[in-house]
Structure 1
Amino acid sequence: MRFRRPLRLGIQFLIWTVVIAFFVDTVSAANGLTLSGGSRDELAIPQWLYLGTGGATIGASALLASFVTDRLFIRNIHEWNRPLLPVDRWEGVVTKVGRAVGVMILILTISVGYIGPQLPNASFAILVTFAGGRAALPIVAYLIGNVWPILNPWRTIALVLPTGFRTYPSKIKRWPAVFGLLTLVWIEVIFPVSTVPTVLATAIVGYSVVTLAGAVVFGVDPWFENADPLAVLFRLYGAVAPIQRRNGTIQVKLPGSELTNAEILSDTSDIAFVIALIWELTFSGFITTSAGAGTVSTLVGIVPVELIPTTVQATVVYTVLFVVGFLVFFAAYWYAANLSRQWVGTYVSTETLRRSFAPSLLAIAAGYHFAHYAGLFISLSPALVMALQSPFTPPANPIVLTLPGWFGGLSIASILVGHLLAIGAAHAVSYKIFASRLVAIRSQYPFVLVMIGYTVISLWIISLPSAIPPFLQ
C-alpha cells in the first residue's frame, strides 16, 4: 500500500510527459558518434496528428487483437516452428572461430584505441565498438539470432582462468546487470568514449577488469548469466529473433513469438533490465534533439556558474534526468500491473502479471534500437570496412553514407512494428494466464496504455530537429 501513491504519481508523470510533448518549444543546441543526431526533415503534417496517429495505431491494433479469441489458433501461431539443422554438426568449429575472432577484436580495439589514429570516424576502436557492437550486433540479435555467446571475448578469456571461488549470491538476482547497463549508458553520455579513442580504450580496459574479476570470483556461467550487462542484453534481444536454439537444433519461429515464454524473465530485476533497455534508447534519443538540448541548457543555467561550475552542473543534470526517467518508466509499468489486477479482480498475483507481460516489451526495445541505430550502422559501414582492412592506418577521410529521405519513415515503421509485436505477445500471454476470454482481454488494457505512452514519446523524439547535447566534450 505504501508504494501505491508513488507508482500512481509515476504513471501520471509519464502521461503528462506525453501531453507536454505536443506543446514544448524547440531550440537549437550544438557530441559524439552515437550522441550526434543526423538532420531530420520537418513533418509534412501537424505534430499532434502524427503523434495521435501513432498512438491510435497501437490502440486500434490492441482492439483488433481482442477479436482473436480462439485459444488454439493463438497458441499455434506462437508455437509454430520449423527445424533448420542440428547444432552438433558445426557448433564446435563455429564456436572456436567465433571465440578467436572476439578475442582478436578486443585486443585490436584496445591497442588501436591507445596507439592508433585519434579521429572518431576513422578509428577502428570507435567504429567497431559503436557501429559494430552498439548498432550492428543488437540488430543481428533481434532480427536473426543471438551470436554474442560465441563472440564474447571476456567469456572466452575467463574459460581459461581459475574460477568459482565464491558462490554467486542468488538474492541479488540480475540487479548487477541492471546497474551495469545504466552505468555503461551513463558513461557513454558523460564521457567522450565515442569521440576519443584513448578514453574508449580506457573504459574497455576498466570493463574488462570488472568482468573478468567477477567471472573468476563467481564462475563463468553464474557471472555471464546474471551480472554481465552485455551478455544479458544480447540474450534478451535474442528472444525477439525468429531463429532460436532448442534441444540441440536451430529452429525458425515467427518474430516475437518467443516472448510468450514465461522463462525469459524470472525476477523483478529482469523487468528492470527490460525497462532500462527502453529507457536508455529513449534518453539517448531525447538528448540529441533540440528539445532535449534546450531542457538541459535551461536546467544547467538555473544555478550561477560562480557557485557550481557549468561542467559539474551539466553532469548532475544529465544524471538526474537519466535516473529519474528510468524510475518513471519503471513505475509506469509497475503501476500498470497493479491496475490490471485491480480491473480484473484475479487471484493471479501482481508479480506474476508483471513477469508474464514484461517480455513483450523486448519487441518495443528492439524497435526503438533499430530506429536509433540502423541509420548509424548504414552510414558508417564503409568506414567500418576500411578500418577492418587496415586498423592502424585507415584513411583520414573515410566514406560516410548519407541516408535517403525515406529512411526516416523506416525508423517510424520499426517503432510501430515493435509495438505491434508487443501487442501480439501480450495478447497471447493473457490467454495463457486467464481462463476467461473477457478477463484475458481486460487484463491487457493497462499495459496497452503504457505501450501507447511509450509509442507517442518515441515518435515525438524522432520527429524533433536534431541537436548535439550541450556541455559534453
Structure 2
Amino acid sequence: MDAAGRTRARLLGRFLLASLAGTLLLAVIDTAAASNAAVSLSNAASGNDLDVPRWLYVMTGGATIGASAVLASFVTDRRFIERAHESRVVLPSRGVVRRWAVRAARGFGLVALAYVVWQGFAGPQVPTVNAAVILVFAGVRAGLTMFAYLVADPWPALNPWRTLAQRLPSLDRPYPERLGRWPAVVGFLALIWIETTTAVNAVPAMLSWALVGYTAVTLAGTVVFSPATWFRYGDPVAVAFRFYGAVAPLRWTDGGLSLRPPGFRLPDSDLVDGRDDVAFVVALVWELTFTGFVTTSAGAVVVRSIVGGGVPPLAVYALLFVGGYAAFLAAYRYAARRSRRVSETYLPTRTLLVRFAPPLLAIAAGYHLAHYFTFFVTLTPRLADVLASPLSPAANPVVLTVPWWFGALPMTFVLIGHLLSIWLAHTTAYGTFPARMQAIRSQFPFVAVMIGYTVVSLWLLSLPTTAPPFLGGG
C-alpha cells in the first residue's frame, strides 16, 4: 500500500474509531430504556433513572455525530470512496430454487392474512394472547421490518395482497404521473395515525376490520391501475418495505444474491427521484419520533396541558402529528437550500433534496431497531408458539425477560444509524459535486439536521415511558 493509501486508511479508521468510541460511551451510561412505539402490545417499558445529567447524555450523542462528520470529511479520494461502495459479493443461486421459494412465500402470506383476519374475529379478545395481534405487531411491524433492512426485503414475495391482485382482472388505467408516490405518503401517515390513536393493537376484532378495509382499498387500486403500478406508487406498506429494503446488505440480482455493506447501494440508487419520495423518507423518520414522544412522560405532560386548555384530545394529537411532520420536512428542505448556498452550486434545490434523502433511510432503520428490537425479543416465545400451534396457542404465553444491558441497545442502534447516514451523505456529496471543497461544504447543513434528529431521538430514549393520555385509557 502506498503512502496515500495508508493515509486514507488511517483517516477512515479514525472515523470508525471515533464513531465507535462515542457509541460505546453512551452505551455504558445507564439510562432509561427506550420506549416501544405507541402501538405495541405493551403500553410502557420499564427503565432506570439516569446516572448522569440528561443534557450531557444527549449532547454527547450530538457531538459524536458532529465529530464523525468532521473526520469523514477528511476522506477526499473519490476513487477510494467509489471502490468502497462498488465492492460486492455475488452468491450464485439456482433459478428453480428461487421460483419455489417465492411460491412458498406467496402461499404463506396468503394463508397468514386469512388466519389473522379469522383470529381477530374468532380468537380471544385479549391482545396479549390473540394470535392476530401477535403476528401483526410482533411478526410484521417489528420482526419482518427488521429483517427487511438487516438482511433483505421479503415483502414482494410475502405480500398477500399482491398474490390476490395477480388473480384479479385489471382495467390498466394510466396512472397519473403527477401523483407519484403521494398516495403512498398519505396512506402511510394515515396508517400511523390509525395505529396510534385507535385500539387496533388492543381490540383484535378492530384489527381484523382494519385489515378488511385495507384489503378492499388495495385491491381496488390494483384493479383500477395494475398490481405492478399500485404496489410501486400507491400502496404504503409495499413502499415502506421497498425503502427499508434498500438499506439491506442482500439483494436478488440476475446473477444471484448480491452482498454489499448495509446502505452502500443508496448513494447510487434511483430509489428517490422526486419530492414525493423525499416526503416518504422523512415520514419514516418522523413516525417513530412521534410514537416515541407520545409514550413518554414529557409527551403526556404536553398533551394534558393542551387538553386542559379546552382543546379536544384528538385535535391535540393531530396537531402534534401533522405539525411535527411538517417541521421535520421543513428542516430537511431548509438544509437543502442552505447546502445549495454554501456549496455555491448551480444545481437546483430539488436535486439536492433528492440526492441527500436516501442516507436518511439509515436513520429510519436505526430508529426502528431502537424502538422494536427489545419488544420483538421479549415476544419471540409468543410468536414462535403461534407459528408452531396456530389453532391452539398457549393460554399463558411465555415472555422473555431481557438482561440489563439491553437498556443500552436502543441508543446504540440510533447512533449507528446516524453514523452510517453521515458516511452515506459524504459519499453522496462526492458523487454530486466536482470540487472537493464543494462536496465538503455541501454536507454541513445536512449534518446539522442529522445532529438535531440525534438529539431529539436520544432525549426521547432518556425519558421514562407511559401510556399515551386520553387514548385507550391512558
Runs of 4+ in structure 1 over 6 Å off: none
Q: What is aligned with 2:394?
A: 395
Written as runs of structure 1 = structure 2, the 5 A alignment for 1:43-442 is 43-86=50-93, 88-303=95-310, 313-442=312-441
Q: Which amino acid aligns with 2:444?
A: Y
CA distance in 2, matches of 1:275, 1:218: 27
CA apart distance, 1:326: 0.4
CA distance in 2, matches of 1:460, 1:87: 48
CA apart distance, 1:408: 1.8
1:276/1:34 CA distance change after superposition, 3 Å = farther
CA distance in 1, matches of 2:43, 2:295: 6
CA apart distance, 1:319: 1.2
Written as runs of structure 1 = structure 2, the 5 A alignment for 1:454-469 is 454-469=453-468
CA distance in 1, matches of 2:396, 2:86: 49
CA distance in 1, matches of 2:138, 2:94: 29
Q: Is the 8 A contact 2:41 2:128 kept in 1?
A: no
Q: Which amino acid aligns with 2:464?
A: P
CA distance in 1, matches of 2:39, 2:281: 25
CA distance in 2, matches of 1:416, 1:55: 9
CA apart distance, 1:362: 0.1
Q: Which amino acid aligns with 1:254?
A: P
CA distance in 2, matches of 1:163, 1:170: 19
1:453 aligns with 2:473: no
CA distance in 1, matches of 2:79, 2:156: 34
CA distance in 2, matches of 1:32, 1:450: 27
CA apart distance, 1:301: 1.1
CA apart distance, 1:33: 2.7
Task: Name the SS for the 1:244 alignment partner.
Answer: strand
CA apart distance, 1:450: 0.2
CA distance in 2, matches of 1:57, 1:87: 44
Task: Name the SS for the 2:90 alignment partner.
Answer: strand
CA RMSD of aligned residues (A): 1.2
Q: Is the 8 A contact 1:116 1:393 kept in 2?
A: no
Moved more, 160-169 or 200-209: 160-169
CA distance in 1, matches of 2:91, 2:47: 41
Q: Which amino acid aligns with 1:48?
A: W
Q: Is the 8 A contact 1:116 1:392 kept in 2?
A: no
Q: Is the 8 A contact 1:262 1:356 kept in 2?
A: no
Q: Is the 8 A contact 2:166 2:227 kept in 1?
A: yes
CA apart distance, 1:32: 5.5
CA distance in 2, matches of 1:220, 1:66: 44
CA distance in 1, matches of 2:321, 2:448: 23
Structure 2: state its 5+ residue gaps. 1-37
CA distance in 2, matches of 1:332, 1:461: 19
CA apart distance, 1:405: 1.6
CA distance in 2, matches of 1:248, 1:189: 42
CA distance in 2, matches of 1:399, 1:119: 15
TM-score when normalising by structure 2: 0.90
CA apart distance, 1:400: 1.2
CA distance in 2, matches of 1:87, 1:231: 26
CA distance in 2, matches of 1:451, 1:397: 44
TM-score when normalising by structure 1: 0.90
The higher-RCO structure (CA 8 Å, 6+ apart) is 1
Q: Which amino acid aligns with 1:132?
A: G
Q: Is the 8 A contact 2:39 2:195 kept in 1?
A: no
- Percent identity over the alignment? 50
Task: Name the SS for the 1:86 alignment partner.
Answer: coil
1:66-125 deviation per Cα after TM superposition (whole angstroms, max 9, x unaligned): 010110110111111010123624221011100000000000000000011111111110
1:429/1:87 CA distance change after superposition, 3 Å = farther
